Amino acid sequence: MAEEEKKAAKKPAKEVVGKILKVILGMVLVVLGIWGIYLWRVDVLTIIKGAVGVVFLLAGIICFAIAKE
């Protein structure tokens, strides 16, 4: 049992490097997303305001579908 735990705990370097690269890429993409929202905040707010009606429409359709059952 102890040997199995040692094997499970010991990961190949390739897997560790791959996971680190994915985390770094994720962090870079999050920062770019935040930066983009900051730069185009007026446009983002316009999109959000425009989407409110569609969200209410879909919520109403879902409510009708649930009530029908």
Write the pLDDT tens digit of every residue in 16-50: 888 999 999 999 999 999 999 999 999 999 999 99
Q: Is residue 41 part of a domain?
A: yes
Residue 60 CA to residue 67 CA, distance in Å, equals: 10
Q: How confident is the model at residue 6 (pLDDT cuts 50, 70, 90)?
A: low
Q: How confident is the model at residue 14 (pLDDT cuts 50, 70, 90)?
A: confident
- State residue 4's pLDDT score: 62
Q: Which domain holds residue 54?
A: 14-68
The reported pTM is: 0.59
Q: Is residue 32 part of a domain?
A: yes
The number of distinct structural domains making up the chain is: 1
Q: Are 30 and 36 in contact (CB under 8 A)?
A: no
Name which residue leads in pLDDT, 4 or 30. 30
